[in-house]
Amino acid sequence: MTQMILDQQRIRAANEIHPTPDVKFAYGTAGFRMQADKLDSIMFKVGIIAALRSLKLNGATIGVMITASHNPEEDNGVKLVDPRGEMLEQSWEGLSTELANARDADTILSVIDSIVAKYNINVDNKANVIYAYDTRPSCPALVASLKDGLDAAGADSTDFGLKTTPQLHYLVKCINTKGTNDAYGEPTEEGYYVKLSEAFKTLMKGKPAMPTISVDCANGVGAPKLKEFLKYIDSNVWSANIVNDDIKTPGKLNYNAGADYVKVQQKAPLGAVLNAGDRYCSFDGDADRLVYYYADDAGVFHLLDGDKIAGLAAMFIMDLVKTAGVDSINVGVVQTAYANGSSTKYLTGQLKVPVSFVSTGVKHLHHEAEKYDVGVYFEANGHGTVLFSPEALNTIKTSEGRTPAQNTALTQLQALTELINQTVGDALSDMLLVEVILTHRHWTCQEWDQAYTDLPNRLAKVVVADRTIFKTTDAERRLVEPQGLQQEIDTIVSKYSNGRSFVRASGTEDAVRVYAEAATRTETDSLALAVAQLVYDRGGGVGSAPSI
């Protein structure tokens, strides 16, 4: 066993207090996420993993965020944030899973030893970890367990308290870049508000204010944080009315509210009464997803999801790049198979912007977006951001306009790079981006919505005996296994006009997801049901047959 800063006695003692239940844990797309009462042992082990990760990276600060996002209040979860504010490197997901499933102290210590040996970790160094959490009632106990793990591992740790997920990502990046040429900002919550508000004011300068927007915060952490942000903005410049801001009453978090609810149900959240012509948006429970919506004159609800935000952002940035005379900067958009077919058509056909497809999960989108000078990425569910490459940032910073218009555009581009959270999707930052664009264009939500009309779509879930038998290719758009199933799906799809459907195993739930879109609502529902039935029949469906 290693002689190390990781105190074996303390690890043994902590393992006694935080015994591992008989659950198969896996670090998935969203870290570890499940019913909060099963997470105690995970937290202490995540403390150890975070310390090891920091040691492996010579003491760089690692982030730990405790949240279950849009999931029910009784759930919770935890994920690790790498030094540049990005998601944990993939190879460490497996290590985290291994440690999570180690039960007795000897196994835990030997997993730790193998990690130390594998990466030649110098355990005499100091590990640095920061952590934060959302509003869930289970957080304080889980934080205490995390702290036990961090202490047992001898890490220096800082509790940043209640934060949105993107704020924690921001803080991690700020701490690790402090004092360097690409210092990201002040590593405080205030620093975050100052950075965003200054950029926002620059972009809004001289523009008439729009009517107040209504923001549904899903009774989550976004509510107090948005209230805090509002203190930095003159209400003559921009104002917001917050709905669903009750973080105290048990049971309210995400209940019939928030970005996921609005996207999936395709209806307004509880507490929002839609007036025609007004603007509405929803954050999710940890404020990293955003969707907009409005009612038309007939009172009909319309959703402006992540695809619509991506289209709007790409259009605006491409225009600005052109106006600024820095055309060498290329803009690209990254989507997943869940992007509405009409959005892809709009991006490639009308905006003429390159679009790449990747597997579900923001880490895939993020990495692909890094390949462009300006990479716009959004999942249809509203999680996304815009990344500027170091070269693009440099071009924007150093270019000098030949005309006042070019100079203004360069200043605005520069401000955009500050306004947009470069680490991860951020509901607050994304909302400010959308607000800037609508203000510049003098657009209502309805005008923004004119870009293209979404094909009706439907997302269904089928519970099967073993979802791991579903294997995909082509950015999850086609099945390779079970054999022959894709051909059968193709046959069904060919019967529908503008039909598209694909099937993949969820990475976060024990189910297979079926997506369908087609020319009309009736056709879409019929297509979704037919494919779901096929999956149920041929893929080992359990429980009652699918219904749409």
Ligand X SMILES: CC(=O)N[C@H]1[C@@H](OP(=O)(O)O)O[C@H](CO)[C@@H](O)[C@@H]1O
Residues with a catalytic annotation lie at: 69
Which position among 242, 389, 508, 538 is part of the footprint of ligand X (CB under 6 A)?
508
Which position among 8, 29, 202, 406 is part of the footprint of ligand X (CB under 6 A)?
29
Interface positions, 50-109, toward Mg ion (CB under 5 A): 69
Angle, helices 404-419 vs 390-398, to 10°: value is 140
CA proximity to 29, closest of 100, 74, 66, 77: 77
Residue 100 contacts residue 32 (beta carbons within 8 Å): yes
Which of ligand X, Mg ion, none does 506 bind, CB closer than 5 to 8 A by kind?
ligand X
Neighbours of 518 (CB within 10 A): 25
Strands (E), 246-297: 280-283, 290-295
Q: Compute and round to an integer the Cα radius of gyration of the chain.
A: 24
**How far apart (Å, rounded) are the C-alpha atoms in residues 507 and 364?**
13
Backbone φ and ψ of 63, nearest 5° = -105, 150
- Residue 290 binds to ligand X (criterion: CB under 6 A): no
Which of Mg ion, ligand X, none does 286 bind, CB closer than 5 to 8 A by kind?
Mg ion
Which residue's CB is nearer to ligand X, number 214 or number 343?
343
Minimum gap (Å) between residue 338 Cβ and Mg ion = 16
- Is 392 labelled as part of a ligand binding site? no
Which residue's CB is nearer to Mg ion, number 289 or number 504?
289
Which of Mg ion, ligand X, none does 284 bind, CB closer than 5 to 8 A by kind?
Mg ion
Residue 100 contacts residue 88 (beta carbons within 8 Å): no
CA proximity to 148, closest of 56, 221, 43: 43
Interface positions, 23-42, toward Mg ion (CB under 5 A): none
- Is 328 labelled as part of a ligand binding site? no
Q: Between β-strands 290-295 and 280-283, what pairing exists: parallel, antiparallel or unpaired?
A: antiparallel
Minimum gap (Å) between residue 207 Cβ and Mg ion = 30
**How far apart (Å, rounded) are the C-alpha atoms in residues 422 and 398?**
20
- Residue 360 binds to ligand X (criterion: CB under 6 A): yes
Which residue's CB is nearer to Mg ion, number 73 or number 288?
288
**How far apart (Å, rounded) are the C-alpha atoms in residues 287 and 475?**
27
- Residue 506 binds to ligand X (criterion: CB under 6 A): yes
Contacting range for ligand X; rule: CB under 6 A; set: 240-248, 250-258, 359-367, 421-429? 359-367
Which helix (H) or strand (E) segment is 92 a member of? helix 90-101
Scanning the structure block, which residue is given the tokens 């849009």?
70
Minimum gap (Å) between residue 133 Cβ and ligand X = 17
- Residue 379 binds to ligand X (criterion: CB under 6 A): yes
**How far apart (Å, rounded) are the C-alpha atoms in residues 247 and 491?**
49
Which position among 134, 216, 284, 476 is part of the footprint of Mg ion (CB under 5 A)?
284
- Residue 254 binds to Mg ion (criterion: CB under 5 A): no
Minimum gap (Å) between residue 87 Cβ and ligand X = 10
Which position among 151, 198, 246, 509 is part of the footprint of ligand X (CB under 6 A)?
509
Residue 157 contacts residue 61 (beta carbons within 8 Å): no
- Residue 384 binds to ligand X (criterion: CB under 6 A): no
Which of ligand X, Mg ion, none does 136 bind, CB closer than 5 to 8 A by kind?
none
- Sheet with 75-81, side-by-side order of all strands: 32-35, 75-81, 61-66, 128-133, 156-162
Task: Give the residue nearest to ligand X (CB).
Answer: 507
Residues annotated as binding site for substrate? Answer: 379-381, 504-508, 513
Q: Which residues bind ligand X (CB under 6 A)?
A: 29-30, 338, 360-362, 379, 381, 506-509, 513
Q: Which residues bind Mg ion (CB under 5 A)?
A: 69, 284, 286, 288-289
